[in-house]
Amino acid sequence: MQHVTSNIRYLRKEAGYTQAQLAEKLDIKRSLVGAYEEGRAEPKLSTLVNIAGLFGITLDSLITTELSDTPARSGNAVPAANGKLRVLAITVDEDQRENIELVPLKASAGYLNGYADPEFIEELPRFRLPMLGSNGTFRAFEISGDSMLPIASGTVIVGRFIEDWGTIKDGTPCIIVSQKEGVVFKRIYNKIQEASMLRLHSDNPVYSPYELHVEDVLEIWEAKSYISSTFPIADLSLDKLSSIVLDLQKEVQKLKKVE
C-alpha cells in the first residue's frame, strides 16, 4: 500500500478535483481524502476499488505502481495522444476480481469515445475466463472482415492490456484501438524507436501492410485467446493432398520393410 497515498493525490490533481469534490464522488468524508493523501489512514478495499474505477485504472496499478513515475510519464513508453497518462476503465465482480468486458461490433464506434469512461465500460457485457489467470487486465473484442484468416469474421479476440508499447515484439497479434482505424486486429511490427510508427500486417496476403502513427493510437491489447463458432477450414489444396499421399506412401514402405 506504499504507493496509494501519493497515487490518490496525483490522480486527484491530474483530474482537477479538490479534496471535497473527490470525496463527493467517492461518497466519503472530505477529511478521509486528506487522511489518505497524508498517509494518516488507509482506504478500505471497497474505497480502493471505487478510486480505481473513477480514474479508469487497474486496482493493481493503484496499489503497486508509482503513477507519477510510470513509463508513460518518463518517456520510456508511448504517451497517449493527449499527452496524459493512459488510464484504463475496468469492472470487477463481487469478489473484487477483474472482469473481461466484451466490445461487440455494434459497440466498436462508441468504444473510441468511451474506452476510458467507467460508465460506458460498466454497460458492456462481461465474463471471466479462469484459464487466463490474473496476470494483467483483459478485454474481448468482436472482429469483422477476412484480413486475419483463418480467424473468421465475428470471432471474439481476448487481449491483455499493454501499457508500454515499446516492449511489443515484431509479429505480435494485437487488437489496436485508434481514432483513425477504429478497432482492428493485426500483427504489429514495432517501429516506435526509429519512426514513432507501428506497422500493421494482416495474415491474409491479399491485404497490404500499412503504418499507424503512435499519436493516433488509444489502446493496444495483445491477443491471448479467441472464441469462435466457426471452425477453421482444412487446407485441402492439391499440394496439400499430394503431401498427404506422399507421407502415406512412406509409412507403407516402412511397414513393408518391417515385414
Q: Residues 59-113: pLDDT tens digits?
A: 888 888 888 765 433 332 333 433 444 557 788 888 778 899 999 999 999 999 8
Q: Residue 180 contacts by C-beta under 8 Å, 6 or more apart in sequence?
A: 212, 216
CATH of domain 72-254: 2.10.109.10
Return residue ranges of the chain for CATH 1.10.260.40. 4-69
- Residue 43: Cβ within 10 Å count: 21
- Please, where are the H alpha helices in the chain? 4-15, 19-26, 30-38, 45-55, 59-64, 71-74, 108-114, 118-122, 192-195, 238-258
pLDDT tens per residue across span 138-196: 999 999 999 998 899 999 999 999 988 989 999 999 999 998 999 999 999 999 999 99
Task: Please state the rounded mean pLDDT for residues 240-246.
Answer: 71
Task: Please state the rounded mean pLDDT for residues 130-145.
Answer: 90
Q: What are the cell numbers at 16?
A: 482537477
4-69 classified as CATH 3.90.1640.10: no
Percent of the chain with pLDDT over 90: 42
pLDDT of residue 240: 67
pLDDT of residue 110: 93
Q: What are the cell numbers at 110?
A: 462508441
Q: With cut-offs at 50, 70 and 90, classify the pLDDT of residue 238.
A: low
Task: Please state the rounded mean pLDDT for residues 36-57.
Answer: 87
| CA 139 centroid distance within chain | 6
pLDDT of residue 187: 98
Q: With cut-offs at 50, 70 and 90, classify the pLDDT of residue 241.
A: low
Task: Please state the rounded mean pLDDT for residues 123-148.
Answer: 91
Q: What is the mean pLDDT of the chain?
A: 84
Return residue ranges of the chain for CATH 2.10.109.10. 72-254
